[in-house]
Structure 1
Amino acid sequence: MTIEPFPFIELSGTPEARGRAYGRAAKARVHRSLAHYGAQLSGQGMDASKVHAMARAFVPRIEAFEPSFVPEMRGIAEGADCAFEDIVMMNCRTEVLKLAQKAEAAAKADRAQPDGCTGAVLLPEATADGTLIHGQNWDWKKECAETGVVLRIRRDDGPDVLTFVEAGGLARAGMNAAGIAITANYLESDRDYRQDGVPLSLLRRKALEQEHVALAVRTIYATPKSASNNLMVSHASGYGVDIECAPDESFLLHPEGGVLVHSNHWLSPAALSKLKDTGIANTPDTVYRDRRVRAALVAKRGRLTMNDLREALFDDWGTPYSVCRPPRPNFSGNLSATVAMILMKPAEGVMEIAPLPALNRTFTTYTLRDAPVRAAAE
């Protein structure tokens, strides 16, 4: 089975110019993304005019958060030959999917198809070469293996950014030239969708635009959100933190013995004393995924390499409800999978990604400096 690597797109210039170049380069994948989510929203009773109206309602909120994101999205729409509202929808897709109906009905509809993930940060004290390693399995819809792209964004007003994202989006997982790296995991609580907030994907892009890790943490910790989410932030110098975010409050988790692992359930004692975890029913494997990855890593603490994290994330115990998930129907009948395994060394500006890793062990190495290179995992 041949699985193509995620396309690499380099961008520079003004936000609008970057957007146009991005849209042109990823046009086919953008339209594939739009068709996929458009069909899902149509199944929830939302035609294009309703989706566009919902997307337009996010624009003032986005402009207030970061004005440059709007012209960048307009540029993507122009380059990809689609409506501006479609690109806004792609950058707010978590919120739009859940708000497509009334809050209670939307949450019920999407809980059966959660955005999973297992992530880890290894501090220098735990690694063989004293270099921080940050990685993740992104669990979502199998179709997204055909819509992902990798962007290298050359910026004149801040550090360059390297990010993996669904085509049309501004960022998902990634790192920047200042040594900051970010991944995200699905979380759910009884506080979700009671307030308006900044779309989660744009929080990640804003954090990756920061020169200082303190400002990246502030962006994630303090910005109001509509839904819960877990974000892992690291810095090449040897810092890592996990931020469990409710819409109106954030909770911190720190590495133990240089190892930090998170899946899709709340771990902070403070969080669990104040809110209800409503996601485990539909991601029951989360209760052992993090423990299995942590155990594999702790066993080699002080000697850990990128390959050790790779093998921990390839774990197939309990398959298909495993750390590395092969394509399988989820509780709503959608085909779910580990769409991508992403491994990063922020100090070296290196990111390795394998699409559908349960079926494919060929990684492509993307960097903040050089052209991509493909290689099979050992």
Structure 2
Amino acid sequence: MTAEAGTTMRLAEHHSTSAHPGERGERLGLAHRDEIRSTVALYRAFYRELGIPVEQETSIAAACHAALAGWYPVLAEEIGAVAAAAGLEPAALMAVTARTEILAIANPQREGECSTAVLLPPDRGGATAAPETIQTWDWHESLVPAALLWEYPSVQGLRVKTFTEFGAPAKIGVNDAGLGVHFNILHHRADHGRGGVPVHAVARRILDEARTVGEAVAIARSAEVSASTVITVVTSEPGAVSIEICPAGVAEVHAGQPGGVPAAADAGSGAAVLLHTNHFLDPGLAAGEHTPDASTTYARLEHLRARAGELAGQDAVRRAQAMCGPAGDAAPICFQPDRALPPQEQWTTLLTVSLDLGGYGLEYAAGSPAVMARGAERF
């Protein structure tokens, strides 16, 4: 099945009513026990295929769990409850929660994950619209036969909706304060195998607590991590920043900087655009870039820059179509698996998603932007 025809990934929905981390985690673990156990098993087999010994995996998972318990104990409690309800030890569930940290010790794969675009509409006489966003999520289809759309109340009093993998606390999402996050992996020479706060937990805490860009940046800066990522935070204020996070430090990239370009003049929107793929844009952190030269991350960013002027002022479906452009599903942002390669080397655009910040929702399609161009679902 090609990306144009959609993916085989099944999306399950779960709506939590309890803000208590133990109760919420237990109910999630009971409701999706099979999917959680399957995802853990698939990731642990994947690590063996990459040559990561089980001893290193478990050591990193344990170190990440300890770091999380010190940094965000509420989430550590939830993870423990999910694991127990699913019949797993917390360290086993951390094989997914800390997947970025475990993968950091392997040679970076020749490809990356995800292309993100955020459009900040101009101020028109004091009236500003919320940012418009879109992201692809590219990964190995064999690792994610099913994924989760999860709504829950946070301990801090916000309601959150997130797309994530079973066993990961959050990935792409929005809260009812009008703040949302997009998520892209990065690789830096400072990444290491000693463990740290999982980057998926950083995204989760931002969704749980933050109402402003400044609060999100403060949360990101407070975490000691062992792997790299970029969390693009957008708010209905409007505001946006790509927070590049790695063990060497944290940097902020704003529209108009290396990752941001003005909308094309003929678009007539005047929107500022913040773009990110899978390499560092901050000049200081970019000096330690560890993404393979063979990656398409640079070509995908150039494609987004070329399409930026067509993205603003569109609904989610038309934005997806504009993101592809005339190339359609042959655009570099649309991954289609090469079935001649081993499953762990096949890349697929598994999801395309836009954040509705004002309406507290995710608009999405299971597949590439070319699939979403034919219609989107809402969560």
- Band of TM-score, shorter chain: 0.7 to 0.9
Q: Distance in 2 between matches of 1:61 and 1:348?
A: 34
Residues in 2 aligned to 1:277 and 1:62: alpha-carbon distance in whole angstroms: 26
CA distance in 2, matches of 1:173, 1:230: 12
Closer, same or farther: CA 84–92 of 1 in aligned 2, 3 Å = same
* Shift in alpha-carbon separation, 1:222–1:70, aligned structure 2, 3 A: closer
1:178-217 alignment, distance < 5 Å: 178-193=177-192, 196-213=195-212, 214-217=214-217
> How has the CA–CA distance of structure 1 residues 232 and 291 changed in structure 2, closer, same or farther, with 3 Å as cutoff?
same
Among 113, 120, 139, which residue is 2:117 paired with? 120
Distance in 1 of aligned mates of 2:369 and 2:121: 28
Superposed CA offset, 1:276-324 (max 9, x none): 32204241x21121222232222464x3432343124445849768101
Identity of aligned residues (%): 22
Cα deviation code 1:91-110 (max 9, x no counterpart): 10111233xxxxxxx332xx
Q: Which amino acid aligns with 2:362?
A: M
Match of 1:291 in 2: 302
- In 1, are the aligned partners of 2:61 and 2:102 still within 8 Å (CA)? yes
Query: Aligned with 1:276: secondary structure?
Result: coil
Structure 1 residues 304 and 69: alpha-carbon distance in aligned structure 2, compared to 1, 3 A threshold: same
Q: Secondary structure at the match of 2:73?
A: coil
Instruction: State the SS of the aligned residue for 1:220.
Output: helix
Judge conservation of contact 1:140–1:339 (CA < 8 Å) in 2: yes
Determine the C-alpha separation between the residues in 2 that align with 1:36 and 1:289: 28
Match of 1:18 among 8, 11, 24: 24
Q: Which of residues 70, 75, 80 in structure 2 aligns to 1:64?
A: 70
Match runs of 1:337-356 below 5 Å: 337-356=348-367
Q: 1:94 to 1:358 in 2, by over 3 A?
A: same
Q: Distance in 1 between matches of 2:113 and 2:9?
A: 22
CA distance in 1 between partners of 2:115 and 2:144 (Å): 17
d(CA) in 2 for partners of 1:333 and 1:16?
34
* 1:215 CA drift (Å): 1.6
CA distance in 1 between partners of 2:324 and 2:153 (Å): 32
Query: What amino acid is aligned across from residue 291 of structure 1 in structure 2?
Result: E
Bigger relative contact order, structure 1 or 2, given CA contacts below 8 A and separation 6+?
A: 2
Greater displacement, 50-59 / 244-253: 50-59
Aligned CA distance change for structure 1 residues 61 and 142 (closer, same or farther; 3 Å) = same
How far apart, CA to CA, are the structure 2 residues paired with 1:53 and 1:228?
Answer: 19
Aligned partner of 2:245: which letter? Answer: C
What is the Cα deviation at residue 342 of structure 1?
1.2
Give the 3-state SS of the residue equivalent to 1:107 in structure 2. coil
Alignment of 1:20-39 (within 5 A): 20-39=26-45
Tell me how far apart the structure 1 counterparts of residues 285 and 350 of structure 2 sit (CA, whole Å).
Answer: 29
Where does the alignment leave 5 or more consecutive residues of structure 1 unmatched? 99-105, 367-378
The one of 268, 271, 277 equivalent to 2:289 is: 277
Contact 1:136 1:313 in 2 (8 A): no
Counterpart in the other structure of 1:376 = none
Residues 12 and 18 of structure 1 are in contact (CA less than 8 Å); yes or no, is this contact kept in structure 2?
A: yes
For 1:55 and 1:266, locate their aligned partners in 2 and report how far apart those are by CA, in whole Å. 25
Matched length: 352
> Which string of whole-angstrom CA distances, capped at 9 and with x for unpartnered residues, describes residues 12-42 of structure 1?
3210111111112222221221121121223
Is the CA contact 1:236–1:345 (under 8 Å) kept in the aligned structure 2? no
Aligned-partner Cα distance in 1 for 2:333–2:111: 15
After TM superposition, the structure 1 = structure 2 runs for residues 223-242 of structure 1, keeping only pairs within 5 Å, are 223-242=223-242
- Corresponding residue for 2:249? 249
CA–CA distance in structure 2, aligned partners of residues 182 and 253 of structure 1: 14
Task: Identify if the C-alpha distance between structure 1 residues 317 and 193 changes in structure 2 by more than 3 Å, giving closer, same or farther.
Answer: farther
Q: What does the per-residue CA deviation read over 1:60-117, in whole Å, with 9 as the maximum and x for residues that have no partner?
A: 211111111122112111222222221122110111233xxxxxxx332xx1265411
Deviations 1:310-369 (A, max 9, x none): 124445849768101112367995221111111111111120121222784453200xxx
Q: Paired residue for 1:155?
A: 154
- Check conservation: 1:320, 1:328, Cα contact below 8 A: no
Q: Comparing 173-182 with 37-46, which one deviates more in the overlay?
A: 37-46
Check whether the contact 1:124–1:132 (CA below 8 A) recurs between aligned residues: yes
SS where residue 113 of structure 2 aligns?
coil
Does the Cα contact within 8 Å between 1:261 and 1:290 map onto a contact in 2? yes
Q: Secondary structure at the match of 2:359?
A: coil
Q: 2:80 aligns with which of 64, 70, 74?
A: 74
1:239: Cα distance to partner?
0.3
Q: Which amino acid aligns with 1:182?
A: V
Decide whether aligned partners of structure 1 residues 53 and 194 sit closer, same or farther in structure 2, where only a CA change above 3 A counts: closer
2:377 pairs with 357, 364, 369, which one? 364
CA distance in 2, matches of 1:216, 1:231: 9
1:196 offset after TM fit, Å?
Answer: 4.5
State the TM-score, normalized to the length of structure 2: 0.83
The amino acid that maps onto 1:167 is F
2:281 to 267, 271, 291: 267
State the shift of 1:269 in Å.
3.0
Residue 88 (1) aligns with residue 94 (2): yes
